Structure 1
Amino acid sequence: METAVKTKWNIDKTHSEVGFKVKHMMISTVKGHFEDYRASVETSDDSFSDASFSFSAKIDSINTKNGDRDDHLKSDDFFNASEYPEMTFKSKSFDGENLVGDLTIRDVTEEVTLEVDFNGVAVDPYGQTKAGFEMRGKINRKDFNLTWSAVTEAGSIVVADIVNLAIDAQFVKEV
């Protein structure tokens, strides 16, 4: 039996964002993203029915629009970027709507499921074939040893345990 030839697609960072949202003091939402990341997909056709996704992000590239908060997130209270400089994701299955894979943050790997909207394939004005995806999911940060916690004088939790993931990804087909 012949193995299908896989095509590789690489992230188009100009048209992509790897973001997250988390409740702050249970009254507002803080958004952030990673600026330095890599992602690719391998698939045998443009339906992406057998797609295999991989992703990594440099923890030092976290950006929440607040330098002090970013430094705290990079510290051992959260990501410990000096010891664990990257987070990674490697897919196990994709059925067109759900992407299941192993997410590794710090020293912990957990299986996560992302809901996926596959927005299709198009050729841009420069002749490049591109594919677009919107991915959403939730993780419990404490599952990944991001356990820092504080409570305000009024009893509000400073940082919620649940982190919402929001990934908008456009991939470019290798030729």
Structure 2
Amino acid sequence: MKNIIILITAVLLSVSSFAQTQWKVDPYHSSLNFHIEHSGISMVNGKFMDYTGSLTTNGDALSNASFDFTVKTESINTNVDKRDNHLKSADFFEVEKYPEMKFKSTKILATGKPDEYLLYGELTIKGVTKDVIFDVHYGGTIKNDQGEKLGLKAETTINRFDYNIDYDPTGAAVGKEVNIVAHLQFAKQ
């Protein structure tokens, strides 16, 4: 009898330790932003307006979490229509041929600092997939009358040439490095 109780307890603990929580990005409380150097003297800011994202967690922390994002390249917005149209062209994102950018995580590691993580994954832009690492700050979770929410900030820098976005190959007018900052709120499903 004692062995049966131990076995049942072990099974229950095993099942509960594998319980996963599904989250979906809340676009009303999130933003996908970028900035890039212009002419070596200033920065141009922009964002993407249309995206979906999911997060799977084991418990409340981000340890062993997985992320999956899709961004519609057509939704780029720098608040200048002429520039946005140029960014949608073959010189940059070539949105008709490559309508989506994707990110899929491969692992996440705690840094040892409270609420700080390194998010490893694969970023695909213009059909090119490269490994990237995001610095993530976990903002925590809250429960309110609209359900449970989880917040975080993720930031990385990429070289646009790695993704065949090679307009202005000298980088004199348009910088080579693009800083990406995502402010994300997820809703528990």
Fold match (TM-score > 0.5): yes
Aligned to 1:21: 35
SS for the counterpart of 1:77 is coil
Segments ≥4 residues shifted beyond 2 Å: none
Q: Which of 110, 119, 131 is the equivalent residue of 1:111?
A: 131
Q: Unpaired segments of 5 or more residues in structure 1?
A: none
Residue 129 of structure 1 aligns to which amino acid in structure 2? E
CA offsets 1:116-175 (integer angstroms, 9 cap, x no match): 000111113x14111110111100000000000067xxxx8110000000100000101x
Q: Which residue of 2 aligns with 1:54?
A: 68
Q: Taking every aligned residue pair, what percent have the same amino acid on both sides?
A: 39
> What's the RMSD between the two structures over aligned residues?
1.5
The aligned length equals: 169
Aligned partners of 2:52, 2:59: CA distance in 1, in Å? Answer: 21
| Contact preservation (8 Å) 1:115, 1:136 | yes
Deviation at 1:80, TM superposition (A): 0.6
Structure 2 residue runs without a partner (length 5+): 1-13, 111-116
Whether 1:165 aligns to 2:165 is no
Contact 1:78/1:148 (<8 A) preserved = yes
Change (3 A) 1:127 1:58: closer
More helix by share: 2
1:128 maps to which residue?
147
| 8 Å contact from structure 1 (residues 150, 158) kept in 2 | no
What does the per-residue CA deviation read over 1:30-57, in whole Å, with 9 as the maximum and x for residues that have no partner?
0000000001101121112110001011
- Tell me, in whole angstroms, the C-alpha distance in 1 between the residues paired with 2:155 and 2:187: 21
Q: How far off is 1:5 after superposition? A: 2.7
In our comparison, the structure showing a higher alpha carbon Rg is: 2
Tell me the TM-score normalised to structure 1 length: 0.92
